[in-house]
């Protein structure tokens, strides 16, 4: 299998390293808007080369993995699936717009390309997927983050919340997933994954809690439906190279790639 990784930051670099060790992966093409970042990652790998654009090697590529930004994902995904190439999306918030998402999925279907969305930095997604086979009454995702994970968010700045001076646990957002993924594009991709699997962006409720003492990005997923109820708690270690991203997100991308290239679907 030949893969292209778009975005060689916290997730992309770890994924590239893991892919380099997978015998099923023969070639890794790396793309980053900052070429020096891709060059640095490629320098430590056996199978990787840097290319200027995802299009450069699309004919030779079986799977494109996006680990960059929502904007880049929105731009790249339709171009990739239109060429019949499979696509893995990490910036899941890019799928919030219903018209865009439906058009993308339709295009993928027409061109027989698959779209993969890893579980990301959240546990319990397996239960939600099964539960969605019958009626789900409510889905609430409560995410707790420390100040470093919530810096430079315009919504919080506009509300006069200085994340570095908040002294107590504070709910800084409460509302539908649709709004949450737009306001916090780098922080709450899991809300988009949960919305897509469960009851959609408008009915999925999201709470974001700023905890000045938090050392992890934690998620509580509470789902109630005809199956019963489950509550899952995930206490994530933030990536040292990007505190907005949890290490589990990179591990989930690596696990997804292994499942795809080995065709082993335990826990599907």
Ligand X SMILES: NC(=O)c1ccc[n+]([C@@H]2O[C@H](COP(=O)([O-])OP(=O)(O)OC[C@H]3O[C@@H](n4cnc5c(N)ncnc54)[C@H](O)[C@@H]3O)[C@@H](O)[C@H]2O)c1
Choices 21-29, 64-72, 201-209, 219-227 (CB under 6 A): range interacting with ligand X:
64-72
Choices 29-37, 104-112, 166-174, 222-230 (CB under 6 A): range interacting with ligand X:
29-37
SS3 state of residue 187: coil
Which distant-in-sequence residues (6+ apart) come within 8 Å of 181 by Cβ?
A: 92, 93, 96, 188, 189, 191, 192, 195, 201
Residue nearer to ligand X on the CB measure, 25 or 66:
66
Which H or E run contains 206? strand 205-210
Q: In this structure, are residues 248 and 228 in contact, taking their beta carbons and an 8 Å threshold? A: no
Minimum distance from residue 157 beta carbon to ligand X (Å): 19
CA 39 to chain centre: 23
- Rg over CA atoms, the chain: 18
- If one asks whether residue 189 binds ligand X (CB under 6 A), the answer comes out as yes
- If one asks whether residue 33 binds ligand X (CB under 6 A), the answer comes out as yes
Return the residue of 190, 195, 210, 254 that touches ligand X, per CB under 6 A. Answer: 190
- If one asks whether residue 249 binds ligand X (CB under 6 A), the answer comes out as yes
Candidate list 60, 111, 219, 233, residue with the active-site label: 219
- If one asks whether residue 6 binds ligand X (CB under 6 A), the answer comes out as yes
How many Cα neighbours within 13 Å face the side chain of 68? 23
Catalytic residue set: 219
Q: Footprint of ligand X on this chain (CB under 6 A)?
A: 6-12, 31-34, 37, 67-70, 72, 90-92, 120-121, 186, 189-190, 242, 245, 249
């Amino acid at each position: 299998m030949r893969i292209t990784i778009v975005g060689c930051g916290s997730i992309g670099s770890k994924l590239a390293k893991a892919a380099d060790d997978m015998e099923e992966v023969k070639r890794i093409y790396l793309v980053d808007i900052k070429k020096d970042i891709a060059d640095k990652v490629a320098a430590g790998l056996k199978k990787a080369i840097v290319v200027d654009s995802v299009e450069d090697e699309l004919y030779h590529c079986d799977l494109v993995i996006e680990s960059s930004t929502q904007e880049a994902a929105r731009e790249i995904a339709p171009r990739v699936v239109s060429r019949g190439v499979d696509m893995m999306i990490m910036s899941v918030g890019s799928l919030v717009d219903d018209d865009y998402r439906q058009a993308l999925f339709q295009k993928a279907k027409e061109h027989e390309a698959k779209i993969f969305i890893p579980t990301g930095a959240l546990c319990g997604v397996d239960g939600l997927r099964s539960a969605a086979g019958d009626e789900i009454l409510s889905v609430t995702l409560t995410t707790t983050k420390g100040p470093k994970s919530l810096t430079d968010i315009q919504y919080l700045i506009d509300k006069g919340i200085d994340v570095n001076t908040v002294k107590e646990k504070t709910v800084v957002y409460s509302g539908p997933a649709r709004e949450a993924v737009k306001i916090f594009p780098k922080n709450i991709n899991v809300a988009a994954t949960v919305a897509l699997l469960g009851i959609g962006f408008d009915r999925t409720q999201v709470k974001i809690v700023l905890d000045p003492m938090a050392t992890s990005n934690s998620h509580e997923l509470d789902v109630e439906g005809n199956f019963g109820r489950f509550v899952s708690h995930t206490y994530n270690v933030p990536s040292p190279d990007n505190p907005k991203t949890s290490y589990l997100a990179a591990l989930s991308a690596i696990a997804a790639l292994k499942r795809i290239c080995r065709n082993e679907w335990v826990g599907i």
